Structure 1
């Protein structure tokens, strides 16, 4: 990642700023590679993935969406890496899935 903010994604559904992610955010937050995403004309951004319910334990972890859940992105980025997760999204999905199975519906505030 010599130039992390070159190139952006484009969501096949919303084509909005929700679907514009740079290389670094795409990799760290969602575990996806920019080249693969840009080659996939059917790619759906994390925000639309959540809105459409495509993945039951997935939610958008952009700053505004995290603020609504009282979750700090920076802390989670370092925590996810330290815990061995592919991305913040993978860590949060694992936590949410564990909370749902454990009956904790107040995991994120």
Structure 2
């Protein structure tokens, strides 16, 4: 039986008590990019996987649960993520729980 604090969606059970991904502020984005020695840019899936060490399917699950930065659609078959979003994500304590 599913407890009252969970929802079942497409075979995934999501609990309401787990932390969700919160977008970084402009200052936090700038700080993450400064530390990494990078400039803001779009990151495609291969590089996203190297940065986060999370598989494509697990990333999709986490996005659906609100625990991962959302992808940005570039074209009909093309997506990318903001580098600052991914850097912020991997430096959050909840990232280790989600992976």
TM-score (norm 1): 0.28
Looking at CA atoms only, which structure, 1 or 2, has the larger radius of gyration?
2
Question: Going by fraction, where is strand more abundant, 1 or 2?
Answer: 2
